[in-house]
Structure 1
């Protein structure tokens, strides 16, 4: 019997008192909130077991959602129309994060997403969709400073290539009949729209005078995936993982194992953790941090002197 899916935003795996950034992990099709990032047989769950040492100032969480193909691409109704639920997952991701950050008074804390496979499209859609007067969602998007993608396809506006991506994922990771696959391929417009809107979002943030740009790193698998004894090839190639203006980075692993690391010495982990470290290092200080530094500086300056208050009371520092 398969383990039940764990949905929603996890409790922080680490939650340092001096956290200056949130790092949120989002799995892909048929993945899990922890299983996607856990190396077997060592059981190393690197967001909790490895990453805190590399990023000690990060609050680290993971988001889970129903990721079976029907719940991801949508069901095929009587009219043969695929009703995608990527938008539902994106909205839930933003909603859960907004509630946590509001509850912990950390709405302005910078945010970085780490996403595997089609989970990257859930994140891309969340960031680039219009949010109307949803202040919570807007605050999460505004706070986002980076997205690290593991094996997420970006096929531009080529609907045929997106159809090929859908077919590949469904054939490899699900057991659905060819008729349904062909129907779903015909309705890949939503994936084209997500790709287009995300590219516009990145460009808009890069040009904005009021909001920070969003940095992106794209990792692609260098090894073919094997199902049993059969090799099914690379699921997301270097070309497919490319966003204009961002050079993709190879990881010597297949599509499933590319985001599972046994220890800190693994090349993929080194590359991913160094990318995150670089982004965090470049984050501007938060207003609260600046205020604390100013108070501390003032305290050091006045220490050993005295202040006269209302000319009658002396306060020693």
Structure 2
């Protein structure tokens, strides 16, 4: 599966433009209550050319605002645009109603990982209309959100005629405590106890997230080929939640050869929450910087003349091989 690295810059597209930029309090309320994609940067009232899309997907018990917020800092909106490499990025958050995961199997409103994934890829297709289809994509997922991202890309592969541009544009995925291999029911019960969720016994999602469940086995197997063409980063927690390590290091790693893994000194809920002065933010922001630099290097590499036209030009040939070395 070829991924084309285009450095073309396109005019951003989004949902209908509001007449004003919502204040922080109004925006946080909207993000908590809304399902689907929501653009947090740049303000939709501003016309700006964007160089890439970065999409945030929360996990169980979270939402598009609180999952990524520490104190009053919603880092996708407040910190990420301050990084030079993300000044011209379009930053999107994806919300879904996690309460549906805690209903009985017979309940018509029961949520499924695949259902959320299907909505994600459909909404993203709508956002990326009118010339934005080649814009590079970076996905960021917390816990179950990482599995939703993997499921969305698997669905996009199966529906390549409709969603192939999303697959081909995906450059990187950053996972925060995503249980790629699954984890124990005891760990999830401890996690939901912290959230005050009392319906754990009725939830089918627990069986889906058990170690090597059928759902996770199928997802891991089918996602493996695509993962080799994407920069993969897996951050994992070092601290206990309610006395239990929710997503231990061993299950937070995909096991891909191209996967970078990194521990963060925090627990399952706070692993993706930062303020500007946090040591974890410096670690994550430096990594994000490096990812975008690699994307830009590959885009520049594609724009070089074909190798066959450079044989007689030693300086140009050297430049091409040096660029290749940087991108390995």
- Give the distance between the partners of 2:184 and 2:164, measured in 1 at CA: 28
Q: CA deviation at 1:84?
A: 5.2
- What is the aligned partner in structure 1 of residue 195 from structure 2? 173
What's 2:253 paired with? 242
Number of residue pairs matched?
A: 265
Secondary structure at the aligned position of 2:235 is classed as: strand
Residue 122 (structure 2) pairs with residue 95 (structure 1): yes
Structure 1 or 2: more helix by fraction: 2
Take 2:80 and 2:233, find their aligned partners in 1: how far apart are those partners? Answer: 17
- Contact 1:65/1:89 (CA < 8 Å) preserved in 2? yes
* Among candidates 196, 199, 205, match of residue 226 of structure 2: 205
> Does the Cα contact within 8 Å between 2:192 and 2:200 map onto a contact in 1?
no
Query: Runs of 5+ in structure 2 lacking a partner?
Result: 1-28, 305-328
CA contact 1:124–1:194 (8 Å) conserved in 2: no
Match of 1:116 in 2: 142
The CA deviation string for residues 259-313 of structure 1, in whole angstroms up to 9 with x for no partner, is 11111x32211222222221211123389x969xxxxxxxxxxxxxxxxxxxxxx
Question: CA 1:118–1:19 in 2, change beyond 3 Å: closer, same or farther?
Answer: same
Which residue pairs with 1:60 in the alignment? 91
The question of whether the paired residues in 2 share the 8 Å contact of 1:152 and 1:241 is answered with: yes
Counterparts of 2:139 and 2:243 in 1: how far apart (Å)? 28
**Cα contact 1:131–1:137 (8 A) shared by 2:** yes
Q: Is the contact between residue 133 and residue 165 of structure 2 (CA under 8 Å) also seen in structure 1? A: yes
Q: In the alignment, which residue of structure 1 is the partner of 2:311? A: none
Deviation at 1:6, TM superposition (A): 1.6
Partner of 1:39: 70
CA distance in structure 2 between the aligned counterparts of 1:133 and 1:205, rounded to whole angstroms: 14
RMSD of aligned residue pairs (Cα, Å): 3.3
Correspondence 1:195 to 2:216? yes
Specify the structure having the higher radius of gyration (Cα): 1
- In structure 2, distance between residues paired with 1:220 and 1:202: 20
Report SS of the residue matched to 1:109: coil
Partner of residue 276 from structure 1, selected from 270, 279, 288: 288
CA distance in 2: counterparts of 1:99 and 1:36, whole angstroms: 24
Report if aligned partners of 2:189, 2:200 keep a CA contact under 8 Å in 1: no
In 2, distance between residues paired with 1:72 and 1:256?
Answer: 18
1:107 equivalenced with 2:133 (yes/no): yes
* Pair 1:10 & 2:21 matched: no
Alignment correspondent of 1:252: 265
Measured at CA, do residues 101 and 178 of structure 1 come closer, stay the same or move farther in structure 2, by a change above 3 Å?
Answer: closer
Pair 1:215 & 2:228 matched: no
* Superposed counterparts of 1:105-144, under 5 Å: 105-129=131-155, 132-133=158-159, 135-144=161-170
Q: Gaps (5+ residues) in structure 1? A: 208-212, 226-230, 292-317
Deviations 1:82-139 (A, max 9, x none): 9651111001100111001014x21011101111111111111111236544634332
1:120 and 1:133, CA in 2 relative to 1: closer, same or farther beyond 3 A?
closer
